């Protein structure tokens, strides 16, 4: 399958391909937006056109046997294990965001008319493992996650691959954070040596007085892009932190929209990026405060450290505000390690090489330390340090 073939297809041809009626609203939305190209704002700095023009093997959906384990496991887009306290099943999903900016969000829903529904009861900490084993394949699936009102949930997700070189993974979430609840999502994704390319497109709906915490940790030398949209209701809050550590010639990062819809909603978005070699990092983030969201608060900040001579950071924090009654700030800095801090450490007898290591690790830890669950903090710390020290060893 070559996704590029859909670019110039008629609405009728696309409807036939996806086996839907031409009146399907998701199909019409994809047709209107069109597949990403070099002029697409969200994909301007990411090689999406080359991915769409690649020929991929398509995978047949044959339900696999599901085992009961302590973790949710998804193998090449299919559920193979679930814990006893979580309901997981396949179903049609109609509550699709019809104002999403990303055409791949709609492509994902058309490719996956049945989503993986995950319903979480009570206060829970859940681990989700994504495993990919098919080479040169188009691996696509979508998940819907719902929690309960007045409950606190933590979802920790990690990614593993074996022989998945050349594959394109298209996946994403639709998450509904129930009123008066808290949902923490911790993503630990370390992709090395062109294991696979991942493009993820998400939609988060944060209900009244609910809290969403998004913590994403992306490491490695392989291309990936995370695109998401968050909608905040009255008194809803978002705390988003993103850490990138990129190597080689990879292009990787975050494209986001945070939309304040309700009064007294608040958001904080902090991105930190560490770039080595010829890597290119992406932080393209818009926060929009609508007329209905008076007395809202929003803070957005991006900091990047460039360690390679040819690495490059695209940092675009943006505010779009339609009211006066709010508190808002944003900013971005890109540069080298702090010379004064380096001088201080060297004055204490520490070599320049070790001093740089200490400052890089301290920079990353400012976000890693925000993970409240010590188990998951340790996992992310280990993932970062393994990538960092292995690259440092190769560079010497």
Phi, psi of 21 (to 5 degrees): -75, 150
- CB within 8 A of 80, min separation 6: which ones? 64, 65, 66, 67, 73, 74
Decide if 383 is inside a domain: no
Instruction: Give the pLDDT band (50/70/90) at residue 395.
Output: low
Question: Mean pLDDT throughout 229-249?
Answer: 98
- Is 70 exceeded by the pLDDT of residue 10? yes
Q: 396 pLDDT exceeds 60?
A: no
Q: How many domains does the chain have?
A: 1
Give the pLDDT of residue 305: 96
Whether 96 is covered by a domain: the verdict is yes
Checking if the pLDDT of 394 tops 80, the result is no
- Give the domain range for residue 65: 3-336
**pLDDT at position 64:** 84
pLDDT in tens, 171-204: 999 999 999 999 999 999 999 987 899 999 999 9
Q: Residue 228: which residues within 8 A CB-CB, separation 6 or more?
A: 200, 201, 202, 203, 204, 214, 254, 255, 256, 257
Do residues 135 and 167 lie in contact, with contact meaning Cβ atoms separated by under 8 Å? yes
Instruction: Decide if 51 is inside a domain.
Output: yes
Percent of residues, the chain, with pLDDT higher than 90: 88
Look at residue 214 and tell me if it is in a domain.
yes
Check residues 157 and 337 and name the one with the higher pLDDT.
Answer: 157
Q: How many CB atoms lie within 10 A of CB 359?
A: 16
Q: What is the arithmetic mean of pLDDT over 301-314? A: 94
Quick count: other Cβ atoms within 10 Å of Cβ 65? 6
- Binned at pLDDT 50, 70 and 90, residue 393 comes out as low
Assigned domain for 371 exists: no
pLDDT over 60 at 209, yes or no: yes
- Closest of 126, 113, 33, 131 to residue 87, by C-alpha: 126
- Share the mean pLDDT of the chain: 95
23, 34 contact by CB (below 8 A): no
* Average confidence (pLDDT) over 327-348: 88
Write out the two tokens for 381.
């710390």
Asked if residue 122 is part of any domain, the answer here is yes
- 278 falls within a domain: yes
Q: Is residue 169 situated within a structural domain?
A: yes
Residue 236 has pLDDT above 60, yes or no: yes
Among the listed residues 203, 202, 244, 204, the one whose alpha carbon sits nearest the alpha carbon of residue 224: 244
């Amino acid at each position: 399958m070559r996704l590029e073939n859909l670019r110039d297809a008629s609405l009728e041809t696309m409807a036939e391909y996806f086996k839907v009626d031409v009146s399907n609203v998701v199909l019409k939305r994809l047709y209107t937006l069109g597949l990403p190209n070099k002029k697409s704002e969200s994909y301007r700095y990411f090689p999406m056109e080359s991915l769409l023009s690649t020929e991929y093997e398509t995978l047949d959906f044959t339900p696999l046997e599901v085992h009961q384990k302590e973790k949710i496991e998804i193998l090449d887009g299919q559920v193979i294990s679930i814990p006893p306290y979580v309901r997981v099943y396949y179903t049609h999903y109609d509550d699709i965001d019809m104002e999403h900016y990303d055409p791949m969000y709609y492509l994902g829903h058309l490719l996956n008319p049945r989503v993986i529904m995950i319903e979480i009861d009570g206060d829970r900490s859940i681990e989700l493992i994504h495993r990919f084993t098919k080479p040169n394949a188009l691996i696509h699936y979508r998940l819907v996650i719902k929690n309960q009102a007045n409950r606190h949930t933590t979802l920790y997700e990690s990614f593993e691959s074996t022989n998945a070189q050349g594959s394109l993974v298209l996946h994403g979430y639709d998450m509904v954070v129930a009123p008066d609840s808290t949902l923490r999502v911790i993503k630990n994704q370390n992709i090395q040596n062109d294991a696979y390319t991942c493009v993820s497109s998400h939609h988060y709906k944060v209900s009244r007085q609910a809290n969403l915490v998004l913590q994403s940790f992306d490491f490695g030398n392989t291309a990936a892009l995370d695109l998401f949209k968050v909608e905040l209701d009255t008194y809803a809050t978002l705390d988003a932190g993103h850490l990138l550590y990129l190597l080689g010639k990879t292009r990787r990062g975050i494209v986001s929209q945070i939309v304040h819809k309700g009064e007294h909603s608040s958001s904080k978005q902090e991105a930190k990026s560490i770039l080595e070699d010829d890597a290119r990092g992406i932080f393209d983030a818009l926060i929009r405060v609508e007329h209905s969201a008076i007395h809202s608060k929003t803070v957005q900040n991006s900091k990047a450290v460039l360690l390679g001579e040819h690495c490059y950071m695209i940092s675009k924090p943006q505010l779009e505000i339609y009211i006066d009654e709010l508190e808002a700030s944003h900013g971005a800095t890109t540069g080298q390690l702090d010379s004064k801090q380096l001088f201080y450490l060297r004055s204490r007898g520490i070599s320049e090489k070790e001093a740089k290591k200490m400052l890089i690790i301290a920079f990353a830890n400012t976000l890693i330390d925000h993970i409240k669950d010590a188990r998951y903090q340790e996992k992310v710390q280990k993932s970062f340090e393994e990538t960092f020290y292995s690259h440092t060893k190769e560079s010497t």
